[in-house]
Amino acid sequence: MTGLAGYMSGHSHQILWQTLVALSGSLCLAVSGSTVLNMWYDRDIDARMQRTCWRPLPVGKVTPREALILGLFLSTIGVAWALALDWLYGVVVFAGLFFDVVVYTLWLKRRTAWSIVWGGISGGMPVLAGRVLVIGRVDWIGLTLASAVLFWVPTHILTFNMRYFWDYQNAGIPTFPARYGFQITRLVIAFASIAAAAAMGLAALGVGMTADSLRLMAVLSTALFFLAVVSTINTSDKTNFWLFKYASMYMLCIMLLLMLNSV
């Protein structure tokens, strides 16, 4: 969805359904491949977490060798397809996969709570890739859209870290709540929400979003910030869960606005 939004933000008058299918297909394969590779590497962690212990690898429905082959196959086909569409688009797609699998999962996830920053970078690559595909270069709007996703990640992930705090503790994964405490984590979420909304608003102005769409975006962003602030005061699990759910819906709605603005 973010890749399509990035592509349609370019206001191209030559948007072809074949290109949209190729964009969606290549991103889907690359992202799916990286997810499989992550699960292949983290199968020992998943087995120790109640939330993930029933995944196919921990329960033995899929062997590690099968998972590795599938992950490499999907990733290779996805990146190759992306490179065939456009070399720069393919490079950005590969960068997202590299940051997610190599930098985040293999290198940093088990070492530092700050690994989510690198995970956020990989999360911002699809929207950047989509814009690169339509305009043929990396521009400030594409980078700002990617930054908005990067700033959004703490709201999405840190609420998850708090909800499943003991799962992460049992698995030995360093998280912000464990390293800095719940209250500091909630403040980080609040500031990250402001940054995400500001970056998204700046990008929206850059692509020439209509006044009505900007007003709706402002309402959605205000609600995100309000929930983030409330979570620092009302520290219940229910409030935290609602913030986690709304963060996902927020990103989906913002990306849909970008797409609709380009139709």
Domain parsing of the chain, residue ranges: 2-261
Give me the DSSP letters along 107-150: IITTT-TTHHHHHHHHHHHHHHHHHHHHHSS--HHHHHHHHHHH
Give residue for tokens 């799916």: 32
Answer whether residue 64 shows pLDDT above 90: yes
In tens, the pLDDT along 154-173 reads: 888 999 899 899 999 999 99
Please give the biggest Cα pair distance in the chain.
Answer: 53
CA distance 77 to 248: 28
Answer whether residue 75 shows pLDDT above 90: yes
- In this prediction, residue 45 carries a pLDDT of 95
Answer whether residue 15 shows pLDDT above 80: no
- In this prediction, residue 235 carries a pLDDT of 83
Answer whether residue 11 shows pLDDT above 80: no
Amino acid at 239: T
Mean pLDDT for the chain overall: 93
In tens, the pLDDT along 84-132 reads: 999 999 999 999 999 999 999 999 999 999 999 988 999 999 999 999 9
The pair of structure tokens assigned to 235 is 């520290």
Answer whether residue 13 shows pLDDT above 70: no
38-58: average pLDDT: 96
pLDDT band at 243 (very low <50, low <70, confident <90, very high): confident
Pair 1, 149: CB distance under 8 Å: no
Residue 209: CB partners within 8 Å, gap ≥ 6? 217, 257, 258, 261
CA 255 to the chain's CA centroid: 12
- In this prediction, residue 147 carries a pLDDT of 96
pLDDT band at 63 (very low <50, low <70, confident <90, very high): very high
pLDDT band at 12 (very low <50, low <70, confident <90, very high): low
Answer whether residue 61 shows pLDDT above 70: yes
User: Is the pTM for the entire model greater than 0.75?
Assistant: yes
Report the percent of the chain where pLDDT is more than 70: 98
pLDDT band at 179 (very low <50, low <70, confident <90, very high): very high
- In this prediction, residue 154 carries a pLDDT of 87
CA distance 95 to 185: 28
CA distance 235 to 257: 31
Nearest to 4 by CA among 13, 14, 22: 22
Domain at 2-261, CATH class: mainly alpha
CA distance 40 to 64: 6
50-75: average pLDDT: 96
